[in-house]
Structure 1
């Protein structure tokens, strides 16, 4: 014959009430998030600023700077100069290799190879091309993106007679 279950003590009753209350609060918080759009930063200016932030690598006597810009934010004249199509589902990767103090730095020629990986692990090679404007040299290419996503960029820079430099960084991409 089994004994009837023991009556809960006052301290175990308080513990059960506390766990029940905590579970109810957590359930209410989780339920409150249902049916809403995915959480994204509310200020689009903050999103744009975070996206435009340069990734910087000091590679010996040179500085490698990379930035990512939605192609819809690129003016028509610049898009034509860079040979890119403006689209809601693409971003522009721009890489510059410079030498000297930032106010008077000089562009350096290099070979730039880039790729990007999204959150699903899908990798895209980015065809980079050299763009010259006066004495300035930049390397540009585009990547396809389905926002929202986080893109992980991997950039290899090779200057003649110098060791290869690798710059890796991530950027969050939000729908417009």
Structure 2
């Protein structure tokens, strides 16, 4: 499979395609995606167990494929839709806290594919559990935060 096809597949899986339009973006969806708008800037965050993703996608992001590993992908875009411009962050922070209060600080790394820029990290989960994510991206011109929960089975 070509790199472009893998990238397109990953974006389709991780960009929250199929979001129920009746569910506000701040409440997420079954695909594990959140989108938070602040002015013209959109913060997209996806948190998905890696065993739910194709092996090629998991390998591309450098993660282990199993039910205990959650892939977290964050991106900032100026505008929404096909003509959105990728923004880079000066600082990216992400934490995941389970129901027992155990907090993980996620090591996020930048990944580029052409003009696209994503920030990727992993969290560990012991299903069934709920993780509370707190993330933020600082562009140097503003901080873009999001908080959301995900159930993992």
Q: Give the TM-score normalised by the residue count of structure 1.
A: 0.66
Counterpart in 2 of 1:8? none
Higher strand share: 2
Alignment partners' CA distance in 2, 1:52 and 1:114: 19
Q: How many residues align?
A: 125
Return closer, same or farther for 1:59/1:50 CA change in 2, 3 Å cut-off.
closer
Unmatched segments (≥5 aa) in structure 1: 1-48
Q: Gapped runs of 5+ residues in structure 2?
A: 1-27
Inter-partner Cα distance in structure 2 for 1:103 and 1:140: 21
Q: Deviations over 1:16-43 (max 9, x none)?
A: xxxxxxxxxxxxxxxxxxxxxxxxxxxx
Aligned-residue CA RMSD (Å): 1.6
Structure 1 equivalent of residue 84 of structure 2: 105
Residue 163, structure 1, aligned to residue 142, structure 2: yes
- In structure 2, the CA distance between the partners of 1:65 and 1:84, relative to structure 1 (3 Å rule), is same
Q: Deviations over 1:88-139 (max 9, x none)?
A: 2111111111012322111110131100000001100111111111211111
Aligned to 1:148, which of 128, 144, 152?
Answer: 128
- Residues 51 and 171 of structure 1 are in contact (CA less than 8 Å); yes or no, is this contact kept in structure 2? no
Q: Secondary structure at the match of 2:63?
A: coil
Greater Cα shift, 69-78 or 102-111 = 69-78
Q: Distance in 1 between matches of 2:29 and 2:83?
A: 26
Q: Which has the larger radius of gyration?
A: 1
* Structure 2 SS opposite 1:167: strand
Q: Contact 2:32–2:48 (CA<8 Å) still a contact in 1?
A: no
- TM-score by structure 2 length? 0.75
Residue 139 of structure 1 is aligned with which of 119, 126, 144?
Answer: 119
**Pairing 1:68-107 to 2, within 5 Å after superposition:** 68-107=47-86
